[in-house]
Structure 1
């Protein structure tokens, strides 16, 4: 049974690598390689502070793109102690408001081992921005499959500042969590800063997320 599971993991890995390679080949036309490294963090005020217990939780997050190809490397994002590798393709529609649809396949390595399907939808408009992330992960070791959603809506308020609402949803076979919150942000052509407060009205469930991201064009 164990050798069969290892073989399945290997086949999934080769399939995803092949998909990524084909996408890169299809997008090999003249285009810039863009990296958007970020550090995302979370603080849980009602838990003991210790890096061993992931408080604060630090999430190194590296999105990158070339042409229509879009990939991500991230750690502690999918689950604590887990590395995620993702590859997919952007589909863009619209003029006044830009709609971006991005399906992705990914693999998980570490505490959680398996494969993920992820789907992004982004609406970028001068008066509003909407970001939707859906992820379903099939886990091959002794952990449950799970669904995760992290979405937000943002409104420009003045100059380069913005404010809005956000929500995180996590479901597996034992946990059902829906955490709404509020956010503020600051965005330039290269720099993005974000601060979100989830469940601010509930002391026991309150937690804070922050993010710092910078755009690099090669």
Structure 2
């Protein structure tokens, strides 16, 4: 897991807005981990009897490639709208990024806890429905004020591009669906906002 100093080194010459967005994203991801225990869940998936495959770089979408959760299977699908922050919060985030003191860490936590619902919302309209991807059954449509995590634990294929073991694949799907159904209401209650977990199939 990268620390904030490493993230800042990567964005040293980025525009200010992108720097603020990355600082906020890093801080929110650490907040999310602490609140939900998501990293422990990600680690447990590695130890399952069924082999869960981490997506190759070529299989990742842009959200996963840029994600700051830095986990094997889970990544955040929300866009981070730091333009919705007050000028004071933006200035404080820049200060925090440049000076990682305990006092600044506490201030960062306060900013994240107070603003994350507004900053992560897909839409300011809570009644809005957002289509993240086309789908027949509507599984790609989420509430405008939801937090969306993607669970990318990929199937295993043989050298011919076919599923290596169909029975194991059925078990893999059952585990992922059960995990999704278990975590969504728990995380929604913890974060006090709708949480959706999308299972990436390929």
Q: TM-score range by the shorter chain?
A: under 0.3
Hey, which of these two has a bigger chunk of strand by percent? Answer: 1
Relative contact order (alpha carbons < 8 A, sep ≥ 6): 1 or 2 greater? Answer: 2
TM-score for the superposition, normalised by structure 2:
0.26
TM-score for the superposition, normalised by structure 1:
0.25
Hey, which of these two has a bigger chunk of helix by percent? Answer: 2
